[in-house]
Amino acid sequence: MCLTGWGRVKRLRCGRQKSLKKLRKKLAILLAFVEQRPAYQVAQEHGVSYPVVTRVFRTIRELLYHQCELEGKRLSGDIEIDEAYFGGRRKGQARPGS
């Protein structure tokens, strides 16, 4: 990648360009994930919506999970998971008998 004069980054292989501002924002979100900062705080600081930050955090968690599976590593011992949401549930659905 190389910098162009217009605040963009150009890929050397294909010549496509990306905004440097977007790239910096994505890098800041990734750094916030590593620092274990809350998604709502990251969203406020960087001017990104909360659902976008939670989606990025969830994607990173899923990638880490799949990488651990590929390497064949199993978790053992005491495992503590805080604020990690995998999957989801239906909201607002009427249940039979209620």
Helix (H, G, I), strand (E, B) or coil at 26: helix
The residue to which tokens 């496509």 are assigned = 16
Which strands form 2-3's sheet, in the order they lie side by side? 2-3, 8-10, 17-19
pLDDT digits (tens, 9 = 90+) for 25-39: 888 999 999 999 999
Query: Which sign, positive or negative, has the C-alpha torsion 90, 93, 94, 96?
Result: negative
On whether the CB atoms of residues 73 and 64 are closer than 8 A, the answer is no
pLDDT at position 18 over 70 = yes
- Judged against a pLDDT cut of 80, whether residue 64 lies above it is answered with yes
pTM comes to 0.59
Record the tokens describing residue 93, joined without a space: 């659905």
Q: What is the pLDDT of residues 86-97, one digit of tens each?
A: 565 556 666 666
Domain boundaries, the chain: 25-72
| Cβ–Cβ under 8 Å, residues 63 and 88 | no
